[in-house]
Structure formats: structure tokens, C-alpha cells
Amino acid sequence: MTQQQELIIVITVLMLGSFVLEVDGTLISAKSWKSQKALALFKFLAHMPGKKVPRDRIIEILWSDSEMTSASHNFHTTLYNLRRSLFPQRSGHHAYPVIHHANGLYWFAPSKGYYVDLVDFKEKVCQCSELEHRDPNSALKVGLEAFKLYRGDFLEEDVYQEWTAILRENIREMYLDLAVRTAELCVRCNQDYEQAIQVCRRALEFDPSREKLHQQIIRYLVATGRYNDAVIQYKSCEKAMQEDLEIAPSVETTSLINQVHLPKYHLWPRDKNTFAEMVNLSRRRSTRESQPCSLIIITLPKELGSLADRTINILQGVLRRDDFACRCAEHQVIILLPLTDQRGAEAASKRIETVLSKNISGCRLSLLVLEPIKGISS
């Protein structure tokens, strides 16, 4: 076969989850390899395309229990078997443009084209991180693409290959961090709480005791009024952390669920006119008791979309029973604190700001103290 007649070689390598190798559209099963050591050598070189690795380093990793002389011989035999396994119908050195070598260095670089899912995943994770602040919609798109690439842990069938262990942990961490970032972008860009919850729950399959993911799910459930589901999620978190880590959920997680445990939710006004009437009634009460009342105005970041309803839900677990909160605009919530002076309002504002900062970044709080109205009788 002449060079012009030679078929275009396209190699697809999937390493996230169970190992899959496809050459020229044909699946190469693990059983068809001339030796399992040849398959291990291929996996090692293919997980980092283009990276040149010294032969001695490869021998140290794959033949650590052999003497150098025999290991060197085994290496060359294994490399030969690797090539035969990839292209069993071809012969001659030029039929195998996959593993290159020069000056004692070896590297994976198929000249006819290749795809490695691990490389694609890492690149997309980096892109998502870089785009997160300047182009969140594009970050969400690439984040979801990366998320779907993760079928499972890196070379999940090779748990006894020592060189894969640290990589497996690092890549899983990368995936779990991506899940949190992608879920946040789902809400930030599209207010899609359901998709955000699905992303976090999918990631929990790989680390059931990852508290950060449980926290995100609880936040999203509370924000959408699914309080029973939030309690169930908390119990799931508690159980997983106890079984896997033998610890209880953190104070941060517990504080998220405390708002759900209130014996009775506040029934707050949902329109500005009703809220205004309540402010007037509160001022009359202030006049009778010669104490001021106060307002806390929360201005929400517009770039994150409408967060007023979510803010209202968060405030359920923060305010006193006699306090009121109302969504007065898409990006504004006003809180009424009856019989509260400047000092009390500042303390309440600090408490509210602390809780909100853990859930919504970029909020601004301002105070307005309403003194008793002079000239109005009880």
C-alpha cells in the first residue's frame, strides 16, 4: 500500500470512566491487546499527548519491580506489541505513526489525528474558569460541555495502577469544583435552579459526602420553596458525612437548614401597597410607644438576574417574628423592623449581611430609621 493509498488514521481515546479506544472507527477491546503491559504503556503515554517522557521514567513507573537490563528489554518488546495491537493488519515501521521517540524520549502524537477526552475536559474546565466573570453565558456553555465529558473517574478500571491514583483524585477534584461553578452559572445566567440541582446531584454520585454540593442543593431548594426537599437533602448530607467521614455537617450547612425548621413561616406581604400600609401602622405604633422603627433596604446585583424571591426565602431564617420583608422591585427587598432604633437596626443589618454574603455576592444594605411621628395621637 502506497502512502497515498494509506487510510487516514483517527484515534479516539476515552479515559474518563471505563477505557475506550477506537482506531479508524473500530473499537479495540482490552482482550485484543498482545499484552496488558502494552495496553498500560499506551494509556500512560496517551493521557498526556505530546509530552515527551524519558524511557527510564517509563520503566520506573511500569517496571518498578524489575532490574534495569530486563526492564529495558521488556520495554522495547512492549512497545512493539503496542503497535501491533493498534494496527494488527499493518506492517512496517511507517504504519504506526502513533508513538514517537527521539533521544531516549517517547511520546503519544498520532500524526493523522486523535481525540483524548481527558485533554478536552481539562481545556474546557480552564475555559469555564477564565470566562466565568467576563462572559458567564459562554462559561456556562463550556462548563456543561466539560461536565458531560466526565463519564466516571479517570481510568476507573485501573485502580491498582499506582501512577493513576493521584491523577484520579486530582481530576475528580477538578470535576467536583466544576460542578459547583456550573451550578452557580445555571442560576446566575438562567435562574435555572432545577438544572443546578441536577448538576450537583450528579456530582454527588462521585463523592456523596462532599458538603459543598449538599449546601448548594439546599440553597436552591429553599430558594424555590421546596422546604421538605431541603430537609431531606440535609438528612442525606448528615448521613453521608457520618458514614464516610465520621463528622457532622458544618455550622454553615446547619444554618442553611435552620430557616426550614422554623415552626411557622412568616406570612409576608407580596405587594408594595400592603407593605406600605404595614409601615404606616408600624409608625403609628412607634408613636404610641415613643420608639422608632427602621427599614433596611437591600439592593441586589442586577447582573445576576432576579434574586429578590431567593433573598426573601433566605430572610425567613434571619428575621424576628414581628419583622416584615417585601420584594419592592426586581432587584430590591425592603425589611421593616418594628420598634427598632439605630443600634438595633445596625445589629440586624450586620446579621443579615453575613447570611446573604454566603448565598448572594454583591448585595448592598442601607438603613433608614423612622422616628415617631409628632402630632399624631394614639
What is the rounded average pLDDT of the residues 231-237?
A: 89
Of 130-134, 193-197, 232-236, 303-307, which gets the smallest average pLDDT?
Answer: 303-307
Q: Which three cell numbers stand for residue 271?
A: 405587594
Q: What DSSP assignment string belongs to 57-96?
A: HHHHHH-TTS-HHHHHHHHHHHHHHHHHHH-TT--SGGG-
Instruction: Specify the pLDDT at position 181.
Output: 97
Q: Is residue 286 part of a domain?
A: yes
More confident residue, 231 or 175: 175
Number of H-type helices and E-type strands within the chain:
13, 11
Residue 307 lies in domain: 272-370
Write the pLDDT tens digit of every residue in 73-105: 899 999 999 988 988 766 554 455 799 999 999
Question: Cβ–Cβ contacts within 10 Å for residue 163, how many?
Answer: 18
Between the alpha carbon of residue 206 and those of residues 84, 116, 172, 221, 243, the distances in Å are 36, 21, 8, 21, 15
Q: Say which CATH number the domain at 344 has.
A: 3.30.70.2880
Q: Within a domain: residue 232?
A: no
Say how many domains are in the chain: 2
Is-contact 158 47, C-beta < 8 A?
Answer: no
Report whether pLDDT(292) > 60: yes
Domain final residue pick, 92, 112, 132: 112
| 336: in domain | yes
Question: pTM (2 decimals)?
Answer: 0.66
The answer to whether position 283 is within a domain reads: yes
Would you place residue 378 in the very low, low, confident or very high pLDDT band (cuts 50, 70, 90)? very low
Q: 207 versus 231: which is more confidently predicted?
A: 207
Whether 185 contacts 303, CB under 8 Å? no
For residue 169 the three cell numbers come to: 483524585
C-alpha span between 125 and 326 (Å, rounded): 39
Inside any domain, residue 202: no
- Looking at 94, 112, 130, the residue that finishes a domain is 112
User: Do the Cβ atoms of 97 and 11 come closer than 8 Å?
Assistant: no
pLDDT confidence band for 271 (50 / 70 / 90): low
Lowest mean per-residue pLDDT among 19-28, 225-234, 275-284, 333-342 = 275-284
Residue 332 included in any domain? yes
Last residue of a domain, one of 112, 144, 161: 112
Q: Nearest 10 degrees: CA dihedral of 151, 153, 155, 156?
A: -100
